[in-house]
Amino acid sequence: MKQQKKKIKLISPSGTVHTDYLDWASEVLTQWGFKVSEGQYARAVHGRYAGSENQRIQDLQDAIKDDSLTAILCSRGGYGLAQIIDKIDFTPLLRYPKLIIGFSDITILHAALSRMNIPSVHGVMAKQLAEFDIEDDSLLTLRDILNGQLPHYHVEPDTLNRNGQARGKLIGGNLSVLMGLRNTPFEPDYQNNILFIEDIGEEAYRIDRMMQNLRLGNVFEKISGLIVGHFTNCP
């Protein structure tokens, strides 16, 4: 019997996305052997957003409820999920598990899922599938994850590292987005977990202000480990 292709749906729950990105991402995923579909409003434009709030809610909710999907791949980040996160019912994922993939503004989804102990993937999106070389490590890692292979990482230590061992659930994502979740029902549970952070386009004093917020909120006392990722274009 011929094995059915795994299904992936592209959605745009945050900012508008260039339609070429969706076309190229679909082509890459198809080359990898996946069956690709799009949310009804994945290409919509509503000001700076990929559709109205109701349209973005509908696309995300429909994808969550679709029991045929292996994964939901977000097209890009930007801004917009904070407007709709409290209107999404994630409980179907407990019955029909599937990976939700993305970074940047998609950090909000990861945080909400983490609160429910539902795993998700902080990884490249349609925009990167379109822009990056097909042999880029981040793309190959995503392909492996979609095929059920867990990634393994080896990172050379920095002189500023505090050596030791840590265990815990991996939580976090974009630092600025995480700060927007402070003292909300969607803030990650930091206790005994490993926090990773990254950001882009933030000046050093703003990063320091956010880190001081975490320090003053005793977050660093709660976590079992901290992973600092790329802070791109952060003068």
pTM as predicted = 0.93
Where are the chain's structural domains? 7-146, 170-232
3-class SS of residue 115: helix
* pLDDT tens-digit readout, 168-181: 999 999 999 999 99
> For the chain, what is the radius of gyration of the CA atoms?
18
pLDDT tens string 70-126: 999 999 999 999 999 999 999 999 999 999 999 999 999 999 999 999 999 999 999
Q: Give per-residue pLDDT as tens, 66-82.
A: 999 999 999 999 999 99
Q: 13-72 pLDDT, tens per residue?
A: 999 999 999 999 999 999 999 999 999 999 999 999 999 999 999 999 999 999 999 999
Query: Is it the case that residue 2 has pLDDT exceeding 80?
Result: no
The rounded distance, in Å, linking the Cα atoms of 49 and 214 is 29
pLDDT, averaged across the chain: 94
DSSP 8-state class, residue 30 = H
Residue 21 has φ and ψ, to the nearest 5°, of -60, -40
Q: What kind of architecture, by CATH, is found in domain 170-232? A: 3-Layer(bba) Sandwich (3.50)
CATH superfamily of 7-146: Murein tetrapeptidase LD-carboxypeptidase, N-terminal domain (3.40.50.10740)
Compute φ and ψ for 77, nearest 5 degrees: -100, -120
Query: pLDDT by residue (tens digit) across 191-201?
Result: 999 999 999 99
Which pLDDT score, from 0 to 100, does residue 3 have?
56
- pLDDT of 1 > 70? The answer is no
Residue 197: predicted pLDDT: 97
Q: Rounded distance, CA 233 to CA 198, Å?
A: 11
